[in-house]
Structure 1
Amino acid sequence: MTLTPDSTVPPVPAALNFRTVDVRGRHLSLAELRAAVPRAQAGTMADAEGKVQDIISAVRSRGFAALSELALAFDGVEQTNPRVPAEALHAALADLDPAVRAALEESIRRARRFADGHRPANVDVEMGDGAVVSQNWVPVARVGLYVPGGLAVYPSSVVMNVVPALAAGVESIALASPPQKDFDGLPHPTILAAACLLGIDEVYAIGGAQAIAAFAYGIPARGADLGDAAGIDPVDVVTGPGNIFVATAKRLVKGVVGIDSEAGTTEIAILADATAQPAFVAADLISQAEHDPKAASVLITDSETLAAAVRIELDRQAAATKHSARVREALSGPQSGVVLVNDIDQGIAACDAYAAEHLEIMTADAPRVAARIRNAGAIFVGDYSPVSLGDYCAGSNHVLPTSGTAAFSSGLNVTTFLRAIQVVNYTRSALEQVSGHIVSLSGAEDLPAHGDAVTARFAAGA
């Protein structure tokens, strides 16, 4: 092509800086492995915490007024009442693309089947004649479910939040999603349609940390002179994924309410060996990188040859994908890269140190390797179980712990919305059989009144 003086050449994308962490030949402790694997830069969460604390304080002290100010500041939306009208929910469902509705219905069907399948049963244990201890699973009364907005639309997150709450038997469900300037200040219509499809009618156009605060502490009703809005009742549990501000808000309100986990910016780790398909590995790394420039994509492998082939595929596929700039930024960030390990054993140790939200296993005998993993939000086994499957239609839940918290917390599931209540039912004779032990132990702990509370039941005339 001949260029004239007025011609312009499209900018050439910068080369991917998909960095390498080489731990081969080193016998690293768990702490050293945790420090070695790619992570977001330190301080990011601390920076968010101060901002989130200010948001929570504003919502607690000024209610709807603060929500309106935050909607304008963060979403560019003028808002008087964040409650989504019922007619908007029904209109969104009526206008939903039939293909999208069919996909949502199939996702709901599979998620319900999985949720119903792992609802725990009540248990009665007989300790002796007339001595029964039970564990009963009881749903919380009210939950607040958060569905993110921003760079993408997440009707699938409506499904993932709502279905296990319904399976648990929760009676009061509220849902929040950020207001969208392009949709008259309401959440995206596909979000509203998914909520309506699932029978959720309490929906709020509230985004970010302010939604978490509104659910945790509630919002007082506002009179007609100030816009006439019914209050938002506080909830017992808050769930749902989001960015670092949402995850930080959930951590800060934990204890006031229950939370599922710190489901922040998405991450994927892939444990792969020389048998893996480079094109598949790259496609899956990119699939999560397109969520957010801060998304983490990590390859853990003992094969330099595979790592080199994946780099080539990342360059090729990243250039062709719709959100190329976002993907390239995520793959080039400090939170992404290749970890070269000695062998699969060290690879498994690195996976457990990383504790990924999503962990794919693309190795020889992948099921056996997957069975050895201890820390992950969800594990995807083999070439035909990509994270995208779990995001939409596997039946599993995609609201999962991030930032290493999978080492001690679980993904969203039915038990997130249940409490295990222990019930003790002893007869007089059953208590009498253990009364001596109770007296002995209460004396050993210097709490004699504990023993007296038992012996009083067997005193003369009792």
Structure 2
Amino acid sequence: MKRYINPSPAQWSEILERPLFNAADLAGRVQSILDEIKAEGEPAVRKFTEKFDGVALDKLAASTDEINEAVKLTDPKLKAAIETAAANIHRFHAQQKSVLTKVETSPGVVCWQKAVAIDKVGLYIPGGSAPLFSTVLMLALPAKIAGCKEIVLCTPPNKEGKINPAILFAAQLVGVTKIFKLGGVQAIGAMAYGAGDIPKVNKIFGPGNQYVMAAKQLISISDVAIDMPAGPSEVAVMADGTANAAFIASDLLSQAEHGPDSQVVLVSNSEKLVDEVEVELEKQLKELSRAEIAVKALGNSVAIVLNTEAEMIDMINEYAPEHLIISMNNYLDVAEKIVNAGSVFLGNYTPESAGDYASGTNHTLPTNGWARSFSGVNLDSFTRKITFQEISKEGIQKLGPVIEVMAAAEELDAHKNAVTLRLTEIKEQ
């Protein structure tokens, strides 16, 4: 990790620059694949699956027999862990249901809002070197709680044309309705446009590599909604002299092992702690199966020492991390001043991996600074809000003149007339 001691605020933006991720560089190649899928449907999807995943499939859908076999193959301890995590995630997201409240905004004028589930949602689950069965829980459970009628899951097959058993176990556990052996751009295109048995969905969720991210951004322009713009994963750690260096190193490495383009940031007011963390990083790297990936990610990463807590808070709010760990003595006070972050982990005993798996919060979060304007996935992500209003005769008599004045000022005569006709009719009764 590069180290900076008391850099000036003018330098922060450059120091905190993310690894280059430019979907525009891939747009031409990805768009040509999407265009072919839109025009040809399933034959194009099969073609690209064979080309990119190296497997020719007889059937794209996962069969009931395959799902049942996956349930048998999944280790009982892993099943129990997934079930516990699912219960926590369900509990947290279920309490996000909105309560319908009618408001009388003025006498005789009643307004309310109702949450309505998105009918068809598509979930993309990476299945390469790290098959993310945990993401199945994070996306399918809120979709189910929200009331989505169709939950379509796409995940890439291996060279034998099979899906990771844990992904299939998690999918059947939480109520996914259709599962397809599809990865990459072809999966996003199939769900965006429909292809054979793969239905066109209304919104697509889930992480992926740079090609998947580029595909999601392109289809979101005019075809299908997506969860959020996203890029490589990231974590920032705020720490003072009371923090545990070994814990911090483990948190930094847990994010660095996601991919070579991930980024980790350590912000501290203690240079001694940064020294200790560097020692722990070297020590723990030797024990990691994905050490080579983590080392590359650490090349994108920085440790910054600042004089004051206020500067640390300002820097984090400028960076707007996907994940933020606050390992400080007064972490609750510091947390109150954080306004830009996807998900926050408080104290020495709250690792970021808890949120990735089992605490209950969602791990599908805005990256690349999008936490300044986007929330992570939550129950609202799977719903639309429809507003209603009901106005009585008495209500329109009171509110009508206000509407007439405003419509006339905007020179929208028909708007005014829609009120005037009603007021006239009431007067003539």
Q: Same fold (TM over 0.5)?
A: yes
Counterpart Cα distance in 2 of 1:272 and 1:154: 29
Contact 2:144–2:175 (CA<8 Å) still a contact in 1? no
Matched position secondary structure for 2:342 = strand
Alignment of 1:53 with 2:18, yes or no, is no
Q: 1:74 to 1:340 in 2, by over 3 A?
A: farther
Aligned pair partner of 1:317 in 271, 284, 297: 284
Give the deviation of 1:25 after TM superposition. Answer: 5.4
Contact 1:265–1:402 (CA<8 Å) still a contact in 2? yes
Question: Residue type of the partner of 2:131?
Answer: V
Alignment of 1:36 with 2:15, yes or no, is yes
2:151 match: 173
Alignment of 1:431 with 2:396, yes or no, is yes
Counterpart Cα distance in 2 of 1:21 and 1:235: 47
Counterpart Cα distance in 1 of 2:371 and 2:421: 48
Alignment of 1:111 with 2:89, yes or no, is yes
| CA-to-aligned-CA distance 1:109-155 (integer Å, 9 cap, x gap) | 00010011111222211123331111111111110011112221211
Alignment of 1:259 with 2:237, yes or no, is no
Gaps in structure 2 of 5+ consecutive residues: none
Gaps in structure 1 of 5+ consecutive residues: 1-17, 222-230
Give the deviation of 1:428 after TM superposition. Answer: 1.9
Contact 1:356–1:376 (CA<8 Å) still a contact in 2? yes
Aligned pair partner of 1:379 in 320, 338, 344: 344
Question: Residue type of the partner of 1:340?
Answer: V
Alignment of 1:240 with 2:206, yes or no, is yes
Question: Residue type of the partner of 2:326?
Answer: I
Contact 1:21–1:37 (CA<8 Å) still a contact in 2? no
Pairwise mapping of residues 48-447 of structure 1 onto structure 2 (< 5 A)?
48-181=26-159, 184-219=160-195, 221=196, 231-255=197-221, 256-332=223-299, 334=300, 336-447=301-412
Aligned pair partner of 2:8 in 26, 42, 47: 26
Counterpart Cα distance in 2 of 1:249 and 1:383: 38
Question: Residue type of the partner of 1:20?
Answer: R
Matched position secondary structure for 1:376 = coil
Counterpart Cα distance in 1 of 2:39 and 2:304: 47
| CA-to-aligned-CA distance 1:429-450 (integer Å, 9 cap, x gap) | 2112111111111111111111
Matched position secondary structure for 2:86 = helix
Matched position secondary structure for 2:250 = helix
Counterpart Cα distance in 1 of 2:156 and 2:267: 35
Matched position secondary structure for 1:356 = coil
Give the deviation of 1:185 after TM superposition. Answer: 1.1
Counterpart Cα distance in 1 of 2:401 and 2:22: 57
Matched position secondary structure for 2:128 = coil
| CA-to-aligned-CA distance 1:384-442 (integer Å, 9 cap, x gap) | 11011111110111111111111110111100001110001111221121111111111
Give the deviation of 1:94 after TM superposition. Answer: 2.3
Contact 1:90–1:196 (CA<8 Å) still a contact in 2? no
| CA-to-aligned-CA distance 1:142-171 (integer Å, 9 cap, x gap) | 100111122212111111111111111111
CA RMSD between the two structures: 1.7
Counterpart Cα distance in 2 of 1:56 and 1:340: 46
| CA-to-aligned-CA distance 1:18-58 (integer Å, 9 cap, x gap) | 11244x25243xxx6333314102x6433233332222222
Counterpart Cα distance in 2 of 1:82 and 1:106: 30
Give the deviation of 1:308 after TM superposition. Answer: 1.5
Question: Residue type of the partner of 2:173?
Answer: L
Counterpart Cα distance in 2 of 1:51 and 1:400: 26
Give the deviation of 1:273 after TM superposition. Answer: 1.6
Counterpart Cα distance in 2 of 1:75 and 1:21: 42
Contact 2:140–2:175 (CA<8 Å) still a contact in 1? no
Counterpart Cα distance in 2 of 1:21 and 1:213: 43
| CA-to-aligned-CA distance 1:317-358 (integer Å, 9 cap, x gap) | 1122121111111112x3x12123232211111111111111
Q: Report percent identity of matched pairs.
A: 36
Counterpart Cα distance in 2 of 1:119 and 1:342: 43
| CA-to-aligned-CA distance 1:248-276 (integer Å, 9 cap, x gap) | 22222225322222343221111112221
Q: 1:442 to 1:174 in 2, by over 3 A?
A: same
Counterpart Cα distance in 2 of 1:87 and 1:373: 49
Q: Number of paired residues? A: 426
Contact 1:289–1:330 (CA<8 Å) still a contact in 2? yes
Q: Which piece of structure 1 moves more, 258-267 or 203-212?
A: 258-267
Counterpart Cα distance in 2 of 1:458 and 1:296: 63
1:225 match: none
Question: Residue type of the partner of 1:262?
Answer: P
Question: Residue type of the partner of 1:322?
Answer: S
Counterpart Cα distance in 1 of 2:28 and 2:85: 38
